[in-house]
C-alpha cells in the first residue's frame, strides 16, 4: 500500500491566506467591525467595495474614509450606499461592486444596528427597522451576491452577528432575534448553495471595543471585560482577521458559526 501524501493547496501553496485577485463587498463598512474587515481583506490582497445601509452625511464620510484607506493599501475600491429594504437598491449595489471591481467573490455582512430597550418600548416600525438592518439586509444581499458568485462557481459569504444571537440579555429582544435569524439563514443558505461553490458562515462576535452603545460605555466595558478570561474586550481587528481566515478558506467550512468572543460563550 502506497503511503498517503497530502496534496498541497493547488491555488496558493506558499500562502493560504493570500486573497490577491479576489473581490470583496463589505456591508456596514462605516461600523468598526466592517471597517476592520475591509482593511484586513485589503491588506491580504483583495479589492474591496465598501457599503453602508445607512444614508446620512456622517455615514458617507465614514465609508469614504475606509475606501481611502483601502486605496492607500494599493487596492481597488468603490464606496456604495444602499437600502436593504429595496430589492432594486440591493441589486444595484451588487451590480456596481462586481462591475467596477470586475467580479465578486466575498460578501461580508457586517452592518450593525444595535438597539437596546425594553420590548414594550418597541413599536412595530421599530421592529421593522431593526429587522431590516440586521436580518433582511444580510438575506437580500446574500441572495443577490450569490447570483453573481454562481457564475464563477466560487463564493464566500460571511455574516457577522452579535453574541446576543446565542445568549439572552435583557432589553435586546429585536436585535437578538434578528441576529439569531441570521444564524439560521447561514445554515439554510449553506445547504442551498452547497453544490455551487459558495460557502456561508457566520462570526458571532462578543461585545467589542468601540461597539456603539455597548463597547463605548466605560461601565459596560468594565463589566463585560471582568468576566472574560483575557480581561479585555475583543477588538474589531480580531474580527477582521477571522473574516480573512474564512474568506481564504478552501471551501470545506460551511454552515458554521464561529464565536469571536474571547471565550464569553464558552463558560456557564
Partner 1 sequence: MATPDRFRLDGQVVLLTGAGRGLGRAMALSYADAGAMVAGASRTLSQLEETADLVAERGGEAISIATDVTDPAAVEAMVAETIDRFGRIDILMNNAGGGAEGDGAPLEQLTDEQWRWGIDMNLTSQMLCARTVLPHMTERGSGVIINVASGFGLRGGRDNWMYVSAKAGVVNLTRSLAVTYGPAGVRTNCIAPGIFPHTPQALERWRGGRYIPIGRAGVAWEMGPLAVFLSSDASAGISGETIAQDGGGLAAIGPTGWAPRVRLTEPT
Output DSSP code: residue 121.
G
Between 173 and 201, whose beta carbon lies closer to partner 1? 201
How far apart are alpha carbons 82 and 250 in whole angstroms?
30
Per rule CB under 8 A, is residue 234 in the interface with partner 1?
Answer: yes
User: Is 226 among the residues that bind partner 1 (CB under 8 A)?
Assistant: no
Task: List the one residue from 138, 155, 215, 262 that touches partner 1 (CB under 8 A).
Answer: 262
Distance between CA atoms of 185 and 202, rounded to whole angstroms? 10
Binding residues for partner 1, rule CB under 8 A, total: 59
DSSP state of 232: S
Q: How far is the CB of 164 from partner 1 (least distance, A)?
A: 16
Give the list of residues 6+ apart from residue 179 with CB closer than 8 angstroms, or none. 134, 135, 161, 162, 164, 165
| Distance in Å, CB of 15 to partner 1, minimum | 7
Half-sphere exposure of 104 (CA within 13 A, CB side): 29
Instruction: Give the residue with the Cβ less far from partner 1, 3 or 219.
Output: 3
Residue 151 CB, nearest approach to partner 1 (Å): 18
DSSP code of residue 194 = G
Beta carbon nearer to partner 1, 55 or 194: 194
Select from 11, 17, 152, 216 the one that contacts partner 1 (CB under 8 A). Answer: 17
Binding mask 139-178 for partner 1 (x = CB under 8 A): ----------------------------------------
3-state secondary structure of 237: helix
**Based on CB atoms, which residue is closest to partner 1, 61 or 266?**
266
Is position 175 annotated as part of the catalytic site?
A: yes
Q: In a 10 Å sphere around its CB, with 0-12 CB exposed, 13-18 middle and 19+ buried, how is residue 163 labelled? A: buried
- Nearest distance from residue 180's CB to partner 1, in Å? 15
Active-site residue, from 29, 161, 175, 246: 175
45-70 b/e (C-beta count within 10 Å ≥ 16 → b): bbbbbbbbbbeeeebeebbbebbebb
104's grid cell: 465578486
Query: CB of 105: closest distance to partner 1 in angstroms?
Result: 17
Q: What are phi and psi for residue 160, nearest 5 degrees? A: -100, 125
**Contact with partner 1 (CB under 8 A) among 91, 187, 217, 220:** 187
With vertex at residue 65, the alpha carbon angle to CA 51 and CA 175, rounded to the nearest 5 degrees, is 45
Sites of contact with partner 1 (CB under 8 A): 1, 3-9, 14-18, 39-41, 43-45, 186-187, 190-191, 194-195, 199, 205-206, 228-231, 234-235, 238-242, 244-245, 248-256, 258-263, 265-267
What is the set of active-site residues? Answer: 175
Amino acid at each position: 500500500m502506497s503511503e498517503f501524501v497530502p496534496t498541497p493547496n493547488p491555488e496558493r501553496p506558499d500562502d493560504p491566506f493570500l486573497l490577491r485577485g479576489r473581490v470583496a463587498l463589505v456591508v456596514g463598512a462605516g461600523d468598526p467591525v466592517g471597517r476592520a474587515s475591509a482593511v484586513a481583506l485589503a491588506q491580504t490582497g483583495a479589492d474591496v467595495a465598501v457599503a453602508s445601509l445607512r444614508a446620512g452625511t456622517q455615514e458617507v464620510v465614514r465609508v469614504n474614509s475606509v475606501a481611502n484607506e483601502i486605496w492607500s493599501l494599493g487596492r481597488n475600491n468603490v464606496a456604495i450606499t444602499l437600502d436593504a429594504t429595496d430589492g432594486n437598491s440591493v441589486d444595484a449595489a451588487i451590480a456596481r461592486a462586481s462591475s467596477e471591481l470586475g467580479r465578486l467573490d466575498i460578501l461580508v455582512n457586517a452592518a450593525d444596528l444595535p438597539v437596546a430597550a425594553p420590548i414594550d418600548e418597541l413599536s412595530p416600525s421599530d421592529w421593522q427597522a431593526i429587522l431590516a438592518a440586521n436580518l433582511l439586509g444580510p438575506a437580500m444581499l446574500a441572495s443577490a451576491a450569490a447570483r453573481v458568485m454562481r457564475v464563477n462557481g466560487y463564493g464566500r459569504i460571511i455574516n457577522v452577528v452579535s453574541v446576543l444571537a446565542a445568549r439572552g440579555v435583557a432589553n435586546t429582544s429585536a436585535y437578538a432575534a434578528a441576529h439569531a435569524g441570521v444564524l439560521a439563514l447561514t445554515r439554510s443558505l449553506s445547504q442551498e448553495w452547497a453544490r455551487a461553490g459558495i460557502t456561508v458562515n457566520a462570526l458571532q462576535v462578543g461585545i467589542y471595543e468601540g461597539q456603539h452603545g455597548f463597547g463605548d460605555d466605560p461601565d459596560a466595558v468594565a463589566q463585560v471585560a471582568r468576566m472574560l478570561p483575557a480581561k479585555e474586550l475583543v477588538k474589531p481587528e480580531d474580527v477582521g482577521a477571522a473574516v480573512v481566515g474564512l474568506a481564504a478558506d478552501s471551501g470545506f467550512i460551511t454552515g458554521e458559526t464561529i464565536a469571536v468572543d474571547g471565550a464569553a460563550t464558552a463558560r456557564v
